[in-house]
Amino acid sequence: MSRFDELFAAAAAARANAYDKYSGFAVGAAVLGKDGKIYSGCNVENASFPEGWCAETTALGKMICSGEREVAEVLVMADAALCTPCGGCRQRLAEFALDEVVVHICDLSGLRKNYTIGELLPARFVLEAGESASA
């Protein structure tokens, strides 16, 4: 099984557990850490919009909780032709990924398009070491 197939399977399994009772729009994501492990996540909605969280956020949270800090590859899956990460997730992914990291955008049948983090967020918010957000 290829790495893409592993990411696809992980995202599909996570998507199956999405808590999407308000929108009916299930999303799954899989993040490959530099450590070679795959971290998956699904969207979790909440009646108090927008207090839910995205599949990418869930996957990144699992990665961070496991001690990994670098993203090597990402796959996002939904029942839509092009479901790219939202702006907040683009920034979250960019926090842990280099510009050239590939983000595979998939529907339920397979790959639709590839982007890099740099293409999805060309002017990301970056703080210099030691600088605070209020500076």
**Any idea which residues carry the catalytic annotation?**
56
CA distance 34 to 78: 24
End-to-end CA distance of the chain: 47
C-alpha atoms less than 13 angstroms from C-alpha of 45 in its C-beta half-sphere? 14
What Å distances lie between residue 20 and 16, 29, 52, 109, CA to CA? 10, 14, 10, 20
